[in-house]
């Protein structure tokens, strides 16, 4: 199938990416994913890495290098992913802290010519045992500063338990080896990244004294600047305890006591019992089909996979109706995508939460009949929203996604987060651990928007031990033989889902290279607020005007999410595409 890219809908600074893809796309006649090797040329190497063995695409080059070192020592993709994650807990403490949580998908390479089962480990934070549905209400009003800042904002963290469970279930190496470099980095110091500097500046006023002591420079009078050295002796001790005792080194003993007593002394409710009782959950992935590929992605308590599969389903319907023929960036194609986003996020708000506590009607939400019915609301000549505008909130950067593949083709996608930059801003004294503010991902009150402007209902109300609804969408796309072909995910709250969707749409539907698919301009819509977020200086004024005429209210914003993706070709070559919106790197074995 010949795929021609239409790039006239974008403004010049994005054009250099599209011109590469366009130049090559007209020569190709293979299926879109098979085209990408040819679409990859010297100019785009600047943004990507190619190799024929393993690869890691992550937010931090030092941690990714460490993961690749583990691959070279004979480790598999899980060993490398666990090493990278512990590395980033040191190098990127503002989003990869052990005080956070996340999700992991693992798809082993096919065995004996048959696709293997993929596994999900859910290590999302849980509400503490003393949590109550109305714990953030005062005089009947939700106080989101309590769910966003300080000791009361944290759920029970899951990163350590999740990574160690993955290692035990699927890994081959000893945790002591994987933790060795991160421990020495915490002891000897790392160079602060631009991203960490930005995050610390953004949250400095809400940080407790201990967080400022740990992440401040110049006698803790100001946030450390990019390039300054940051030594984290308390965190080194925590990592050593984990190395020695496994998960108990974090959740029990000295470290567990310090976390619980530090939080309680500051008005929080996480107890030793909450910590020692925390366990990750093994889940079955959500699966969808898109143009002959299998999309393996996150089930609840993330909304990510369900919304992604719905979005791909609506996109497929748009294609069948001939609405995508004007190609990438055309107003009509964007209109179809935004309408799909509106339908899916309306479902998310009503139906989705932790399925261990509240039934999520996944079967119905993903059924072909249901998607057919919902898609009938698309009106080509105008926007057709169910509701009016809401509150548009600023863009935080606070999450991290990384994609790993090894030379055997085993693939891992991990997204983890502390929610906001530096999470709750709270570090329990003596631990060096940035605690999350994931409680804000619950619906504090029906209709009250969270940090990301998302609303929710009873399905996502607070309950002890329940996990707040997430948007994280680590995803693995497999071919019909069960080979992992694309491994991806993103940081960026609800924009994660729409950015993963658009990356796959660009790659598989529009036939762009992976690099171009990640870099291309994006839009985001989440039903409420009713604005459509559009990346500043990207789509042309003509395209934007057409969208306005259809009835969309556009809001220009900075980069929409940070996607880190890699693609493996049938001959074993791998291309990594870190998002140019972030500071990430692709490191090849
Ligand atoms: N904390 C943001 C999310 O999980 O979607």
Residues 294 and 221 in one domain: no
Residues 156 and 243 in one domain: yes
Q: Is 493 in the pocket of ligand 1 (CB under 6 A)?
A: yes
Domain around 127: 55-278+398-445
Residues 368 and 484 in one domain: yes
Tokens of 365: 């939400």
CA 587 to chain CA centroid, Å, is 19
Residues 573 and 495 in one domain: yes
Any domain includes 292:
yes
Residues 366 and 426 in one domain: no
Q: Reply yes or no on whether the pLDDT at 160 is more than 90.
A: yes
429/29: higher pLDDT: 429
Whole-number Å distance, alpha carbon 518 to ligand 1 midpoint, is 20
pLDDT of residue 384: 87
Whole-number Å distance, alpha carbon 506 to ligand 1 midpoint, is 24
- Point out the catalytic residue in the list 91, 336, 399, 431: 399
Residues 381 and 418 in one domain: no
Any domain includes 359:
yes
Question: Ligand 1, atom 3: nearest CA belongs to which residue?
Answer: 470
Whole-number Å distance, alpha carbon 422 to ligand 1 midpoint, is 14
Residues 406 and 380 in one domain: no
pLDDT of residue 49: 65
Q: Is 441 in the pocket of ligand 1 (CB under 6 A)?
A: yes
Number of domains the chain is built from:
2
Q: What digits encode the pLDDT tens for the residues 366-408?
A: 999 989 989 999 999 999 875 422 222 333 457 999 999 999 9
Q: What digits encode the pLDDT tens for the residues 189-202?
A: 999 998 899 999 99
Whole-number Å distance, alpha carbon 436 to ligand 1 midpoint, is 11
Q: Is 468 in the pocket of ligand 1 (CB under 6 A)?
A: no
Residues 233 and 168 in one domain: yes
536/522: higher pLDDT: 522
- Positive or negative, the Cα torsion across 444, 445, 446, 447? negative
Q: What digits encode the pLDDT tens for the residues 436-487?
A: 999 999 999 988 899 888 989 899 999 999 999 999 999 999 999 999 999 9
Residues 374 and 503 in one domain: yes
Give CA separation, 168 vs 48, 74, 121, 161, 340, in Å.
Answer: 32, 16, 12, 10, 39
Any domain includes 39:
no
Place of tokens 């006023």: 205
The CATH code of the domain that includes 533 is 3.60.20.40
pLDDT of residue 38: 33
Ligand 1 atom nearest the C-alpha of 471 is: 5
Any domain includes 9:
no
Any domain includes 38:
no
Q: Is 415 in the pocket of ligand 1 (CB under 6 A)?
A: no
- Residue 196: active-site member: no
Residues 384 and 428 in one domain: no
> Are 135 and 462 a contacting pair, CB within 8 Å?
yes
Residues 427 and 524 in one domain: no
3-state secondary structure 126-168: ECCCCCCCCCCEECCEECHHHHHCCHHHCCECCHHHHHHHHHH
Tell me the whole-structure pTM to 2 decimals: 0.88
pLDDT confidence of 18, banded at 50, 70, 90? very low
Any domain includes 416:
yes
Any domain includes 297:
yes
Q: Is 436 in the pocket of ligand 1 (CB under 6 A)?
A: no
Any domain includes 483:
yes
Bridge partners (DSSP) of residue 556 are: 534
Q: What digits encode the pLDDT tens for the residues 232-257?
A: 999 999 999 999 999 999 999 999 99
Residues 184 and 64 in one domain: yes
Q: Is 303 in the pocket of ligand 1 (CB under 6 A)?
A: no
């Amino acid at each position: 199938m010949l795929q021609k890219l239409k790039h006239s809908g974008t403004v010049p600074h994005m054009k250099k990416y599209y011109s590469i893809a366009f130049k090559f796309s007209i020569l190709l006649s293979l299926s879109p994913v098979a085209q990408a090797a040819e679409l990859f040329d010297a100019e785009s190497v600047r943004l990507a890495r190619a190799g024929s063995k393993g690869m890691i695409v992550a937010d931090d080059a030092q941690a990714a290098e460490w993961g690749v070192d583990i691959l070279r020592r004979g480790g598999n993709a899980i060993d490398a992913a666990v090493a990278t994650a512990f590395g980033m807990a040191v190098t990127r403490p503002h989003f990869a802290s052990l005080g956070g949580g996340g999700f992991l998908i693992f798809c082993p390479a096919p065995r004996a010519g048959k696709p293997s089962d993929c596994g999900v480990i859910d290590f999302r934070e849980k509400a503490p045992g003393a949590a109550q549905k109305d714990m953030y209400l005062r005089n009947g009003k939700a106080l989101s500063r309590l769910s966003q800042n300080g000791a009361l904002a944290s759920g029970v963290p899951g990163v350590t338990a999740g990574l160690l469970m993955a290692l035990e279930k699927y890994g081959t190496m000893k945790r002591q080896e994987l933790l060795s470099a991160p421990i020495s980095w915490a002891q000897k110091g790392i160079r602060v990244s631009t991203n960490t500097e930005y995050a610390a500046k953004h949250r400095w006023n809400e940080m407790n004294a201990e967080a400022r002591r740990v992440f401040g420079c110049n006698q803790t009078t100001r946030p450390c600047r990019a390039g300054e050295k940051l030594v984290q002796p308390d965190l080194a001790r925590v990592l050593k305890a984990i190395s020695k005792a496994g998960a108990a080194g974090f959740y029990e003993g000295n470290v567990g006591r310090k976390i619980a007593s530090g939080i309680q002394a500051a008005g929080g409710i996480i107890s030793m019992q909450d910590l020692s009782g925390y366990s990750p959950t093994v889940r079955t992935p959500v699966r969808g089909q898109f143009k002959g590929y299998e999309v393996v992605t996150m089930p609840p308590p993330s909304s990510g996979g369900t919304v992604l599969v719905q979005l791909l389903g609506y996109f497929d319907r748009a294609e069948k109706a001939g609405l995508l023929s004007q190609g990438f960036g055309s107003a009509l194609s964007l209109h179809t995508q935004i309408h799909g986003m509106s339908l899916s996020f309306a479902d998310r708000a009503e139906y989705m939460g932790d399925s261990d506590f509240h039934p999520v009607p996944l079967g119905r939400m993903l059924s072909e009949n249901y998607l057919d019915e919902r898609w009938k609301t698309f009106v080509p000549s105008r926007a057709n929203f169910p509701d009016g505008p809401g509150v548009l909130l600023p863009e935080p950067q606070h999450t991290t996604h990384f994609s790993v593949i090894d030379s055997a083709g085993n693939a891992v996608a991990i997204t983890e987060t502390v929610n906001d930059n530096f999470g709750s801003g709270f570090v329990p004294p003596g631990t060096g651990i940035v605690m999350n503010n994931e409680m804000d991902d619950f619906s504090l009150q029906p209709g009250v928007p969270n940090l990301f402007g998302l609303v929710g209902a009873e399905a996502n109300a607070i309950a002890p031990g329940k996990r707040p609804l997430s948007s994280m969408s680590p995803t693995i796309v497999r071919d019909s033989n069960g080979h992992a072909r694309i491994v991806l995910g993103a940081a960026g709250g609800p924009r994660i889902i729409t950015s993963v969707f658009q990356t796959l749409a660009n790659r598989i539907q529009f036939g762009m290279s992976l690099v171009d698919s990640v870099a291309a301009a994006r839009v985001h819509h989440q039903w409420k607020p009713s604005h459509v977020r559009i990346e500043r200086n990207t789509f042309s004024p003509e395209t934007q005007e057409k969208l306005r005429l259809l009835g969309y209210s556009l809001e220009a914003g900075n980069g929409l999410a940070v996607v880190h993706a890699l693609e493996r070709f049938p001959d074993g070559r791998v291309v990594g595409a870190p998002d140019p919106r972030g500071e990430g790197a692709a490191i090849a074995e």
